[in-house]
Each structure stands twice: as C-alpha cells, then as structure tokens.
Amino acid sequence: MPALRHLADDQRPLDPHDRRRGLRGHAGRARRLTATRTVLLCTEAPAPYVRAAESAGLASAFDLVVSHPSGDPGDALLGRAEALLAWRPIPRLPDRAPRLRWIQSLTGGCEHWLASPDLPSSAVLTCARGTHRLSMPEHILAALFMVSKQIPGIVLDQRESRWRRRVNDTLSGKTLGILGLGAIGAEVARKAAALDMRVIGTKRDAAPMAHVDQVLGPDRTGQVLGESDFVLLLLPSVPSTRGLIDKQALALMKPSAWLLNFGRGDLVVDADLIEAAASRRIAGAVLDVFREEPLPATSLLWTTDNIVIFPHVGGLHPRRDELVAELWVDNLRRFASGQPLREVVDRRRGY
C-alpha cells in the first residue's frame, strides 16, 4: 500500500487506518498518497475514501491529498488539483484551481454550491444524491410512527408520572403524499406500502413508479395536499419550490394531517406553519430542516405545540461516508477513463 504522508512540516509516515494520529483531527494539515493526478479530499473523515480508492486499484493512479475542511489547502495544492471532494466551496476556487475539472459534493443538495461565486463554471459538479437511502427513509418512518402513536405525549406522561391511556391511530389505510418522488421518496414509498398505506406524490416526470398509487406532476400539488393524511416534503430548494408551503397551501390540507419536511428548510413559510399548528388548522409538523441552522433558540418552532424538531439528523448514520465513497470511487474510475459521471448536478434546474 502506498505510504500516506503529511504535506506540512511533519513528514513522518502515517497509517491511514490509525484513527488516533492518522486521518482524523489534523485541522489545516494535508496528507497524500504518492501518485500522479491530484485529487483533493476536503473531509474530516477521509479513511473510507482512501480505502475505496485502494480497493478499486485507483490509489496508484492519483495523488490523493487529504485536507481538513476547517483549514485552507493552500494555493500550491489547489493549483494542481484536478478533482475535489468537499462539503462546500473553497474561497476563490475558480482563480486558485485552474486545472479543476470535477467537484464531488458530500451533500445531496447543492444549492449552496450553485449560489456561490466560488464554484468554477468549467468544473462538473456531482452530488451525493441517493446516499441517504438507508437512514432517511427510516427517520421518516420513525416520524410517522411518532405522531400516529403519540410517542411525544407518552414520553411526557412518563416524565410527569401520569398514567394516561392514549388512543393511537394506525398507519394502515392512511394516505402518504410525497412531494418530490426521487430516490429517497421511492424508498419511503416502498416501506409505506408494506404498512398498507396509500402513497401518492409529485414528480417532474410523472411516470408510474413502483409502490406509488398515483404519480402526478408538480401542477397537481394541491391535489396531493388535499388528499393526504401525511404530507412529506422531499423537494430541492429551487425558485419554484421556495415558500411552497405557505398559508394557502396549508389551508388545502386536512385538519387531521401532518406535515413532514425532510427536504429543504426554505420550502416552508415558518410563520404560516406556526400559525397553522397553533390554531390546529393542521394536526402538526415534524421538521428536520430549517431556513437557519442551527435553529435559533428564539425560534417559535421550538415551543409551538405539535411541532416536533429533528436537528437535521435524517441522513446521518455511521455508514454514510462509506456509501458516499462507493459513489465517489465509481465516479473516480469514470473520471480516469473519460466516461460520463454519475449524479451530475444540472445547474439550470438547480439540482
């Protein structure tokens, strides 16, 4: 296996599998595998990516350089980088990385990349779309069970030593409306169908999908809102979706319906949702994403009855980097051979 070394003053060999002094916790310092074409990995957890490249036999074809995202890789390194793996844009990237041809985002949504002046126009941007397919659907199902079985109320009863037998509803026979039937939505639909739920939803291409009873175009969003017992938001943040769930949209929902937002925080007008939940215009909401994160302690979303806060944990799980590494190494192989990359972001559409 090629030796992994610091690019800073400390040139001692590092074991890439040694978590204590190897690949973790070295803010601002960069390390590399000796090879040819430079690929920059700006992540605090590079081990899965290095292992994936080694397993695929690609480590000797690239100079894999690891730089902690809290630091700056430096002009010299950026000047020779042809590919980049990162959470967010690096300042002045277009001027500092003239050879950069491919950027792999560590996130599924890339609006922060697309809105940044630091995104080079000549580089192909790929996202981590689909790598939340294990964790997020389970979090969404947890939210469905949480509100239908009144779990927050049961926990509160226990905390106050109160014996109260709550009448819980079933998910069987209920309608789940998914706005944004992508990869995550398809997996949620599969799991919901196994619970005998009726699944409807919207998709830009309204072609039939397995486990979805009715696939509609975005122009039928109002129908989905009106028919659903649970409305699940999985949409990207683009001009046509920002502020989609406002007072008028909430008025279309059943008074017994719940809103679940696992898409983007700016899909919802917060003040309108707070008013709808507080007045019982809808049953409530489970929110995993927010316009501002961390959610400020002063936000009324924290204290409004029947609004449940998940602190943007829907996609987190121990194997997430391994799943992203699988996608990244496949794209690395394609990049090496000049083949089209997977999960390319359409800059015009915004996702």
Tokens representing residue 95 in the block: 């001027």
Is 312 part of the annotated catalytic residue set? Answer: yes
Give the phi and the psi of residue 287 in degrees, each rounded to 5.
Answer: -120, 130
Residues 133, 340: Cα–Cα separation, whole Å = 23
Q: Given this model, what pLDDT does residue 24 score? A: 35
Strands (E), 25-174: 30-33, 37-42, 62-67, 81-86, 102-105, 124-126
Q: 272 with 298: CB under 8 angstroms? A: no
pLDDT in tens, 141-177: 999 999 999 999 999 999 999 999 999 999 999 999 9
- 295's CB contacts (< 8 A; 6+ apart) are 301, 302, 309, 311
Q: Given this model, what pLDDT does residue 36 score? A: 80
pTM of the complete model: 0.87
Is 264 part of the annotated catalytic residue set? Answer: yes
Output the CA angle 233-317-133, nearest 5 degrees: 45
Q: SS3 for 223?
A: helix
pLDDT in tens, 282-341: 999 999 999 999 999 999 999 999 999 999 999 999 999 999 999 999 999 999 999 999
Residues 234, 267: Cα–Cα separation, whole Å = 9
Tell me which architecture the domain covering 135-309 has in CATH.
3-Layer(aba) Sandwich (3.40)
Catalytic residue, candidates 312, 317, 334, 342: 312
Residues 74, 94: Cα–Cα separation, whole Å = 14
Q: How many CA atoms lie within 13 A of 279 on its CB side?
A: 10
The ranges assigned to domains in the chain are: 4-131+319-337, 135-309
Q: 218 with 201: CB under 8 angstroms? A: no
pLDDT < 70 stretches in the chain? 1-35
Q: 177 with 231: CB under 8 angstroms? A: yes
List the helix and strand counts (H, then E) for the chain: 11, 15
Give residue for tokens 């291409």.
Answer: 205
Adjacency order of strands within the sheet including 175-179: 214-216, 198-202, 175-179, 230-233, 258-261, 284-287, 307-309
Tell me which architecture the domain covering 4-131+319-337 has in CATH.
3-Layer(aba) Sandwich (3.40)
Catalytic residue, candidates 96, 129, 139, 264: 264
Give residue for tokens 């040139």.
Answer: 11
Give residue for tokens 């017992």.
Answer: 229
Q: Among 262, 261, 342, which Cα is nearest to 272's?
A: 261
Give the phi and the psi of residue 72 in degrees, each rounded to 5.
Answer: -110, 130
